[in-house]
Amino acid sequence: LPSLAVGLATGVVVACIDFLIYRILWIHVSRLASNSMLLCMLMPAAGLCAAGFLISASGEEEVRGAEEVVRSYHTHIPMRGRRSIALHLLSTIPTIGFGGSAGLEGPSICAGGAIGSALPAKVKCIRLKREDRCTMMLAGAAAGIAAIFKAPLTGIVFALEVPFKNDLAHEALIPALVASVPSYMVFAKLAGAEPLFAFRRHELLTVEVLVASALLGAASGLLAVAFVKLYRLVRGLFRGRAPLPAKTLAGGLACGALGALSTLLAGRPYALGSGYELIRASLAGELSTGQLAAMVLLKSATTVFTLGSGALGGVFIPMIAVGAALGGALAELGGGPIDLYAALGMASFLAAGYKTPLAAVAFVAETTGSSSYLIPCLVASSVSYLLSGGFSVSDEQRPHKEVRVAELAKLRVSDYMTTKVVCVPAEATIAEFISKYLLKHRHRSFPVVKEGRLVGMVAVDDVVGVPEEEWRHRTVYEVATREVIVAYPDESLSDVLDVMEKYDIGRVPVVDPRDPGRIMGIISKTDIVKAEAKLAGLSD
């Protein structure tokens, strides 16, 4: 039932966003950009600048979109509030609608993930554990992909693959399946069920095609590594103290200039927008080899400047577009059908750059409707995935699913706990707790102290049921949990993590074993997640 509700709601939301961006904005913007070089240069700048203001208004400029869904899945930290998510989703309208090189799958994943995370918490008849809510968030992401690409299998597989570089979130299979199908059906009913691209059927599967698939996969793998490195370089350049609207304006100006160049070279601004026009042109053989090679470089650059400058959007379909252009450009070398080679490029470039090889192949299989593409795409994707190593456009993906219990057992709480602990006085009123602690520090729970000694823990759930008119009269101590779960400095992180999972808590006070009333620090699940990331060789 929760997955079904998430799928239906996500399908409606994604259809509305799709209508605003593609049916109203981009259809007119692309025509204007094709006829005026000045507008081609200025419209992406205006769109990205407006997006920067919307994102800044949310007050949260860090991890967002599809990345936030992956981060929340790993950390079990809920996605940001409704206002922030709404502003971030609104920012994608000027970003993509005015020519920024980003895909609608980014906001679709974000919207689906937010619905999957929030719906079980808001509907009283649905009660899920925190881990199950994280799984439901992946189901929402699957529903978003299934809707926007009209590809339910791709949505399911993507949700299983995207949290990890070399593993699967297998527990999300059934929820993703149940959410993706109704989401696709609702979207198809509202936006139309026609396929995204037109492919011809190719029944010949020869050794030459398989060899060419492997070679194209190798080229895609190397290009994907360069793409990821360029993306990180540009993102690093935009990490200054300048206001976000100024950064996105600069990124938009760069996109506009590159879009104008693509218009000069190919007659249309193929480097701008999500990339659907470039994919269709590549499949139809409308562009020469030289033009396709130029579009590989220009589309990569506009995508990097759009997302690297701080704008919000997806990277899935722009990478598909780059891969399609690459495959089309190499078609003459392989001597095969251009649409087959474009499909190989689509699957292999996405597999390498996003570490989602199965989703990449599923996408091509669903959009082509032909089984003859399946084996060559598997070969190309496997080669590109292996050759590209650990490089990925996602910062939040982890290498493997398994928790490194043996390694965590060697780490002590004292080395990872926070020593500056924000404590709530026992005599503080609930109103004071909410205004001075909960809203200011954003933690879900706090130690309660009386005369400097630990006497309880107070959490958001403890005050939710208290009528608002009583907030100024009742104290925190009255609603706090008196039997406090504690940790000790010499305990292992694995032991503390077991306790957190057992009691479904996110923060545990660390006390002196010889004086349990004296707080020495506090350890959170986020602290343990950071320790796991270091063990895995990831940056904080």
pLDDT in tens, 248-291: 999 999 999 999 999 999 989 999 999 999 999 998 889 999 99
Q: Within a 13 Å sphere around the CA of 398, how many CA atoms are in the beta-carbon half?
A: 24
- pLDDT at 127 > cutoff 60: no
**DSSP secondary structure string for all residues of 259-276:** HHHHHHHHSS-TTSSSSH
**Residue 316, Cβ neighbours under 10 Å: how many?**
32
pLDDT in tens, 418-465: 999 999 999 999 999 999 998 888 788 999 999 999 999 999 888 888
| Spacing of C-alpha 382 from chain mean position | 23
Do 225 and 317 sit in the same domain of this protein? yes
- Where in the sequence is the domain holding 361, given as residue range(s)? 2-387
- pLDDT at 540 > cutoff 50: no
Cα 50 to Cα 47, 57, 94, 95, 168, distances in angstroms: 5, 11, 7, 8, 37
CA gap 355, 398 in Å, rounded? 11
Q: Range with the lowest mean pLDDT among 39-53, 69-83, 319-333?
A: 69-83
392 found inside a domain: no
**Residue 509 · residue 454 · CB < 8 Å:** yes
pLDDT category, 538, cuts 50, 70, 90? Answer: very low
- pLDDT at 391 > cutoff 80: yes
Do 372 and 411 sit in the same domain of this protein? no
Cα 420 to Cα 359, 508, 520, 522, distances in angstroms: 44, 14, 9, 8
What SS3 state is found at 354? helix
For residue 205, with 0-12 CB atoms within 10 Å meaning exposed, 13-18 middle and 19 or more buried, which class applies? middle
Do 328 and 422 sit in the same domain of this protein? no
pLDDT number for residue 539: 41
Do 36 and 126 sit in the same domain of this protein? yes
From the list 285, 359, 347, the residue with the least C-alpha distance to 322 is 347
pLDDT number for residue 405: 59
For residue 155, with 0-12 CB atoms within 10 Å meaning exposed, 13-18 middle and 19 or more buried, which class applies? buried
pLDDT in tens, 166-220: 888 888 899 999 999 999 999 999 988 887 887 777 666 788 888 999 999 999 9
Name residue 459's beta-bridge partners. 445
CA gap 335, 211 in Å, rounded? 12
393 found inside a domain: no
CA gap 331, 285 in Å, rounded? 10
CA gap 512, 515 in Å, rounded? 5
Do 62 and 158 sit in the same domain of this protein? yes
Count how many residues are written for the chain.
Answer: 540
pLDDT in tens, 339-390: 889 999 999 999 999 999 999 999 998 888 777 788 999 999 999 999 998 8
pLDDT number for residue 242: 86
Q: What is the mean pLDDT of residues 402-409?
A: 63
Q: What is the mean pLDDT of residues 142-160?
A: 92
From the list 502, 483, 497, 487, the residue with the least C-alpha distance to 526 is 497
**Residue 307 · residue 261 · CB < 8 Å:** no
Which DSSP state fits 413? G
pLDDT number for residue 128: 59
pTM: predicted TM-score of the whole model, two decimal places: 0.76
Any idea what the CATH number is for the domain that residue 459 is in?
3.10.580.10
Any idea what the CATH number is for the domain that residue 155 is in?
1.10.3080.10
pLDDT in tens, 309-337: 999 899 999 999 999 999 999 987 766 78
Do 340 and 460 sit in the same domain of this protein? no
pLDDT number for residue 126: 55
pLDDT number for residue 253: 96
CA gap 95, 314 in Å, rounded? 11
**Residue 271 · residue 299 · CB < 8 Å:** yes
Buried b (16+ CB within 10 A) or exposed e, 391-412: bbbbebbbeeeeebeeebeebe
Do 291 and 420 sit in the same domain of this protein? no
Which residue, of 387, 421, 444, is where some domain finishes? 387
pLDDT in tens, 297-311: 999 999 999 999 999
pLDDT in tens, 91-110: 999 999 999 999 988 888 88
399 found inside a domain: no
493 contact partners, CB below 8 Å, separation of at least 6: 408, 409, 411, 412, 413, 416, 523, 528, 531
CA gap 234, 244 in Å, rounded? 14
What is the percent of the chain where pLDDT is above 90? 51
Do 209 and 247 sit in the same domain of this protein? yes
Do 496 and 418 sit in the same domain of this protein? yes
From the list 330, 317, 89, 315, the residue with the least C-alpha distance to 209 is 330
Do 190 and 236 sit in the same domain of this protein? yes
Do 356 and 414 sit in the same domain of this protein? no
Question: Sign of the C-alpha dihedral, residues 431, 437, 440, 446?
Answer: negative
**Residue 80, Cβ neighbours under 10 Å: how many?**
19
- As for how many domains the chain has, the answer is 2
Do 216 and 251 sit in the same domain of this protein? yes
From the list 14, 41, 16, 17, the residue with the least C-alpha distance to 29 is 41
pLDDT number for residue 86: 84
